Structure 1
């Protein structure tokens, strides 16, 4: 006889760690990876080294854990990115958690330019980014969220998203941004809501000459039609925010803003 007693199999969860230390001259000093998290350094010719992070599990769901770390030595230039868009799938219990730690030495430059995170209906995601940078270092941080799959006509009705970014600059707290999105925020109109936007992004620059780049960035943003964007600058930083009703126009606008703000090309793995 078959035993028809129902059982509840425990679902396998992602657990991954990956990181790299880029030393003087752009040399790789240390690389580690564990589980589904990978870090790759493609060959670069005449460009700063790029560290490409990848989650081989193909996406995130409740209970998954990923930890990324990237360190850049003094007077060194590096770029950090992800191989493709990350996907946060429906959760059957608990939140997926992704923690990223960046360390930028004196006189160093780090451009942290991950590709977007696509949030599916029913997803629960907790992301934390923490940065420790020297006072005279340069840091560019990009964060992009796409709410739903437009090609499939998906409109989100239920998500639980926490997105927190913290920057310590020269030993003092320079920025804390904490975003929480729930079901009510998906339909709330006005300045406090998304006003129907399905793609949003924030691009931040910390640098001694940050304010010198503000007007060039604003000139790029003013030329964009379907994307609402604005930039401001103060205290050695520039912040630009973007929102759009479609993901692709926002991606193109963000790409041009990144090239303007960094005075350099996009990561090679980006497809524009």
Structure 2
């Protein structure tokens, strides 16, 4: 970790691989500063890692990077101990949070962090880049809450890119809050809602039996992607309702 006038630079890295005995080994589990990593009790062949926020942030000027790799034979679940709170800092520059996920053939990754809250006055750019082999499995959830209770949101720009076997199946960007492109809060955007999220599911069996697109409930929809993948999207008035919508729509895929 480094601290400079422009903010904190911190990174975390997880490498998982099959241990040859039906389980998952974690030869690399490295975190620094605000990105502390802890291995928790897994289930069966699955290894579980928790991202623990050891400092406030990201603040203005901070740059966090998380790199997670699931190699062949690995089953890995990564979560976070609490919500991530984007805050304004003394530095007027925006903050960055970059997530890179890589999953090999015969590996499975569940990326399930808690919600990201965009506090008033903050400015955060979140990028999540996912590269999967043709035989990889993925469950990815992202949830953003715009502002704390009774608070206007900060500026939040979120980009999610998913590639399967080198082919891009999803590349979307959402900008919210002050200075975001016009219409983000209108009928064609969030329509006054203050929580938005998506779940990406990649399963090799979807290549032969793709899920059907549908509206799950008002505010939530399931959409097949151009690959063995599906996207669940939802908007809601608050984070609790958002989680319920995403979980319900996800269950409809089983």
Larger Cα-atom Rg: 1
Which SS does the other structure have where 1:214 is aligned?
A: coil
Deviations 1:182-230 (A, max 9, x none): 4265874211x22110011011112222374735x959x34xxxx6101
How many Å separate the matches in 2 of 1:15 and 1:138?
Answer: 31
Tell me which residue corresponds to 1:17.
Answer: 11
Deviation (angstroms), 1:155: 3.1
Give 3-state SS (helix, strand or coil) of 1:135's partner: coil
How is 1:74-113 mapped onto 2 (pairs within 5 angstroms)? 74-92=72-90, 93-113=92-112
Tell whether the 8 Å contact from 1:99 to 1:127 is kept in structure 2 after alignment.
Answer: yes
The residue that corresponds to 1:232 in the other structure is 223
Question: Does the C-alpha gap of structure 1 residues 190 and 87 become closer, same or farther in structure 2, counting only changes over 3 Å?
Answer: same
Cα distance in structure 2, aligned partners of 1:110 and 1:61: 28
- SS of the equivalent of 1:251 reads helix
Seen in structure 2, the aligned counterparts of structure 1 residues 119 and 186 have a Cα distance that, compared at 3 Å, is farther
| SS of corresponding position for 1:61 | coil
Q: Deviation at 1:167?
A: 1.9
Structure (1/2) with the larger helix percentage: 1
Q: Which residue of 2 aligns with 1:5?
A: none
Hey, what's the Cα distance between the residues in 2 that align with 1:56 and 1:202? 26
Is contact 2:125–2:156 with CA below 8 Å preserved after alignment? yes
Q: Which residue of 1 aligns with 2:34?
A: 36
Q: Which runs of 5+ in 2 are unaligned?
A: none
Q: State which drifts further: 42-51 or 235-244.
A: 42-51
Q: Distance in 2 between matches of 1:253 and 1:128?
A: 23
1:242 is matched with: 234
Partner of 1:162: 157
Equivalents in 2 of 1:63, 1:106: separation in Å? Answer: 37
Equivalence map 1:83-162=2 (5 Å): 83-92=81-90, 93-150=92-149, 153-156=150-153, 159-162=154-157
TM-score normalized with structure 1 length: 0.80
More strand per residue = 2
Aligned to 2:175: 180
Q: How many residues align?
A: 242
Q: TM (normalized to structure 2)?
A: 0.85
Q: Could you say what secondary structure the match of 2:221 adopts?
A: strand
Gaps of 5+ in 1: 1-9, 264-272
Q: Distance in 2 between matches of 1:139 and 1:168?
A: 11
Aligned residue for 2:126, secondary structure, equals: strand
SS in 2 for 1:250: helix
The 3 A distance-change label for structure 1 pair 166 and 187 is closer
Q: Tell me the residue number matched to 2:190.
A: 194
